[in-house]
Amino acid sequence: MTFAMATEPQPEAFTLNEEEIAAEFDQLNKIEKYVQESDVTLEELQAENSDLVSGIELSADTAGALAAADLPLGIPAFWWGCVLTLLGVILVYVLTDQDKEQTKKALIGCLVTAGAYIIFYVVLYGAIWGTGIGF
């Protein structure tokens, strides 16, 4: 027998420190301004070990997050391919501006559906022919 008990969340776990958030965004704004004015890339700034980026973990690679967010209704590419098969793959290809990673995920979803149909019909015909009914 398994018992589960729910407890109230601790208020300090969900506190919003607006000053800390404002300070972090202020630091990010300084970095952005410096990068734009100095014609230097973020990677170069990090390589210099500048005081601007000390203690901050920054990533310039947001392509994957943006592409997933750009999908209609926020539905992952795999499910577009899985449910709409070839049409889903084409839609993902067009709607993500030919993003190969998302199109590949949609194609995998399409192939999963195709595999499921093949297995279903092999089992169905095997059951029909195994009972001797045949056509």
pLDDT in tens, 98-134: 889 999 999 999 999 999 999 999 999 988 888 776 5
Task: Look at residue 58 and tell me whether its pLDDT is greater than 60.
Answer: no
For the segment 10-24, the average pLDDT, to the nearest whole number, is 74
Q: Check the CA dihedral 16-57-70-39 and report its sign.
A: positive
Which helix (H) or strand (E) segment holds residue 13: the answer is none
State the pLDDT confidence band at 71, using cuts at 50, 70 and 90.
Answer: confident
Most confident of the following: 1-15, 60-74, 112-126: 112-126
- Cα end-to-end span (Å), the chain: 52
Average pLDDT over residues 24-48: 78
Average pLDDT score, the chain: 79
pTM of the model: 0.48
